[in-house]
Amino acid sequence: MNRGKHALIVGGSLGGLFAASLLRRIGWTVTVFERSAGALASRGAGLGTTRELVETMRRAGARLDVSMAVPMTGYVWLDAAGKVVHAQERLNASSTWSRVYLPLREAISEADYRAGMALERVEPNGDRVIAHFAGGAVAEGDLLIAADGSLSTVRRQLLPAVAPRYAGYVAWRGIMEEREVPPAIRQAHFDKIAFSFPDGEMSLAMPVPGQGDDTRPGHRRYYFIWYRPADTAALRGLCTDADGVHHGISIPPPLIRPELIRAIKRDAAERFAPDLAAVIARTEQPLLQAITDLESPRLVIGRVVLLGDAAFVARPHVAAGVSKAALDAAALADALAGEADIDGALARYERERLDFGRRIVAHGRRLGTLLDGKKLSPAQWTGDDAYRDPRRVLRDYGAPHLVHDLTAQDLVA
Ligand SMILES: Cc1cc2nc3c(=O)[nH]c(=O)nc-3n(C[C@H](O)[C@H](O)[C@H](O)COP(=O)(O)OP(=O)(O)OC[C@H]3O[C@@H](n4cnc5c(N)ncnc54)[C@H](O)[C@@H]3O)c2cc1C
């Protein structure tokens, strides 16, 4: 029934690739249009995983094996002296962006993937949709899937009032080789997520696959992410390069001003346990990104569908943005499978994914409560202020009410 239907997919990152594979499997013809001309660069270092992510990769026909993830056994909260304040067992696993991207990309034929195609605008045309690209190219399909990320060109055209909202804090991230990690961390905490909560801030560090996605002990890497409040003026300063050029809400890593990198290393020495401070000090090229929330009130506009970060962006504390994009794609394929009434199928997709998106964004916000710069004593706490207690953050870290932790067992099946 879906034979002959054609989906135009804008964005060839993880959300677009999941959508392409899963729609092909229900009989649709797909074409992915990706703005970047070359191979997509890694979007960062570590990646939280879920069972849903792996199940959807399997369903998409992506190659999988146990080397995809580094298993972890739990969480620890370390104070500024390096003492364990709180520990919690929890089996889960970390991976990397490329370890998810490459198998998905391999599952899509060259004929279905068009790189260097920047969408400029979409044009509804009854039960068809026309896409216009830079340089004048045009494509037409039965459906257009906007998987073009948080700054989605498609969403900005069709829902111009919807935009990412700055959460009031930034993430500094970095990575180093396992052998360079201070021995005290390697011996005591390397298989866990190590959290720290210096006054009004939050950081976590964890093992991830190493060079060439190597997960053998000794060959892995160690990844940290440090959330720090910054008002909008401070954010502007952080994202301005040495020539005074302002880069928006993130900045290409080599353009981060050296004095800012020196400053975070100095601050780390004052705020973290010495071994964690050493991890930050030894990171040559940290990455910097503003944290945002995005909620779209609609996911379907005629024959245009929003998916992944184009639809909802939850704060990274949920560690499940990629899983959400995978589940969006799976829900779309399920709704469309064998369905003659495409509009009815899209309405079902929208109902289901609006609910999930709202819940995961709300949870990300809750987990970030202690980063809002307010100084409240526990006696003043109400509602989500319970998340000012790091124990509560650790208990609900990720989105355990919405997705499941990945264990090594899930990779064997
Ligand atoms: C600091 C940080 C840490 C994170 N950690 C995790 C984690 O641990 N686990 C996790 O699951 N998620 C994590 N995420 C979230 C995750 O990175 C995103 O949810 C995920 O990348 C969304 O995928 P996407 O395909 O929807 O969008 P994107 O990956 O943003 O891809 C959008 C694609 O569209 C292309 N594009 C854009 N505009 C156009 C256009 N006009 N025409 C054609 N192509 C276009 C872009 O080039 C890009 O390839 C994290 C995010 C951040 C910021």
The CA 286 to ligand 1 mean position distance, Å, reads: 19
Chain segment 122-136, per-residue pLDDT in tens: 999 999 999 999 999
What residues does ligand 1 touch, defined as CB less than 6 Å away?
A: 10-16, 33-36, 40, 43-44, 47-48, 118-119, 147-149, 153, 171, 173, 289, 308-309, 316, 319-323, 325
Inform me whether the pLDDT recorded for 4 exceeds 90: no
Nearest to 152 by CA among 383, 308, 338, 364: 308
The CA 13 to ligand 1 mean position distance, Å, reads: 7
Whose CA is closest to atom 35 on ligand 1? 11
Nearest atom in ligand 1 to the alpha carbon of residue 47 is 8
Band of the pLDDT at 3, cuts 50, 70, 90? low
| Torsions phi, psi for 61 (to 5 deg) | 85, 20
Mean pLDDT of all residues in 232-242: 97
Which pLDDT belongs to residue 153? 98
Of 18, 43, 157, 403, the residue with max ligand 1 atoms within 8 A of its CB, to mutate for a pocket test, comes to 43
Looking at the chain, the whole-number percentage of residues with pLDDT higher than 90 is 90
DSSP string, 255-316: GS-HHHHHHHHHHHHHHS-HHHHHHHHT-SS-EEEEEEEEE-S-SEETTEEE-GGGTEE--G
Q: Of 37-46, 91-100, 327-336, 337-346, which range is least confident? A: 37-46
Count of alpha carbons within 13 Å of 257, Cβ hemisphere only? 15
Count the Cβ atoms, other than its own, within 10 Å of residue 240. Answer: 17
Whose CA is closest to atom 20 on ligand 1? 322
Q: Of 34-48, 114-128, 266-280, which range is least confident? A: 34-48
Which pLDDT belongs to residue 408? 77
Q: Of 43-52, 81-90, 160-169, 185-194, which range is least confident? A: 43-52
Of 17, 34, 98, the residue with max ligand 1 atoms within 8 A of its CB, to mutate for a pocket test, comes to 34
Mean pLDDT of all residues in 408-413: 78
Nearest atom in ligand 1 to the alpha carbon of residue 309 is 26
Count of alpha carbons within 13 Å of 238, Cβ hemisphere only? 25
Mean pLDDT of all residues in 275-301: 96
Which pLDDT belongs to residue 42? 62
Burial profile 92-106: b = 16 or more Cβ within 10 angstroms, e = fewer: bbbbbbbbbbbbbbe
Which pLDDT belongs to residue 46? 82
Mean pLDDT of all residues in 99-103: 92
Q: Helices marked H in 26-152 — which ranges?
A: 51-59, 97-106
